Structure 1
């Protein structure tokens, strides 16, 4: 299927690894021009080289910015002109007891997980609405619907992201611009892989044993395994394409059946 993404200009936040990296690779394979992002210049340039090797002839570049710093985000946004596709992917997560989460940590989670999307979307929507076309996609989580007790701060920010996306979609009425969220399930991103590896070592288990134990303990997963980042990226590609023109203001699940509601 031709997704009609050739020569479309896309920016993917937090895309030097994990889900964002898989999204950037998929967009490049579809012929889009992609700007990736990470916290350090070294990491960004490494990912650019990797993507150029994976997708010969790819039009890929990168901009380093830490989304915990509003000024860096402002400079990043100023460097992004004429975007057709914005993928708000960057995010923080960690396991933490509620009583141990400080005010500073709450603020950092809101700055990175929520305000990154506010700042980038505010910049991108102006030109998208002016040209009458564009796609804004938030990479959300089922944790924004079913808040995990051991990651309350993460779940709350993902719920806020879902609300932000829905509200922005209402500003696109009668235009060719759409705003949607993907509710991902347990995904074996690089960050999750690192966490699983650390826990497995501490418990004297192999990584595969712990992965199996984690998903076996997830009573509602229909997939019964971790989701691959590329599986989420496939849905992003569809939402980024002109083919998804009738999908707007939606939260689409790619959660492996973890959420039990019918809608």
Structure 2
């Protein structure tokens, strides 16, 4: 799958480890996890500074709309495992480590100063190593505005037996993202979502785990991830849908 991620600065020599993390970011972000909004990403954000300080390489950044309100999205590549990074990130942000984060992925939500951050730590594809973080960020005012109306299930994805928590969409790249709450265990929620996707004509493709799965339908790709954030919240299931612009 060709990557259309752009870099913050040009590089003429790239070691093998960097190429691996770049391919990982392209896979996890489904080649371009660009969402849409008016101009917002103007200066480095709190999340950007934190993730760079932890050793992340920002491979993509764009303006977004989250639940219809302005925000930003950036993708960061790391050479360490998601479990290790999730532990370091939770400690850095002084938030509880999500239950089940040691099994390979995590979703952390953090409010700091004037910023609301949602950080999705995704595992690598088999054989690539490392992980990628998708960092969604909004001002607290925009996050509060977005929370006044419950988010709707995004077009282009089959409705699951789960309640949307937040969504994002980009008309330019036809990329959609949703995180929803489910009363089922992560493995069961992922299996139910997989059945809904295959029933709608999608095909599952390796690599995958019981809670981290990839699907294709023509030129569309969908990443599915389920995790238990904590005992009180139950399971969160996230889907990232990308429609390829080239064959």
Please confirm whether the aligned pair reaches a TM-score higher than 0.5, indicating the same fold. no
Q: Give the strand-richer structure, 1 or 2.
A: 2
TM (norm. structure 1) is: 0.28
Max Rg structure: 1
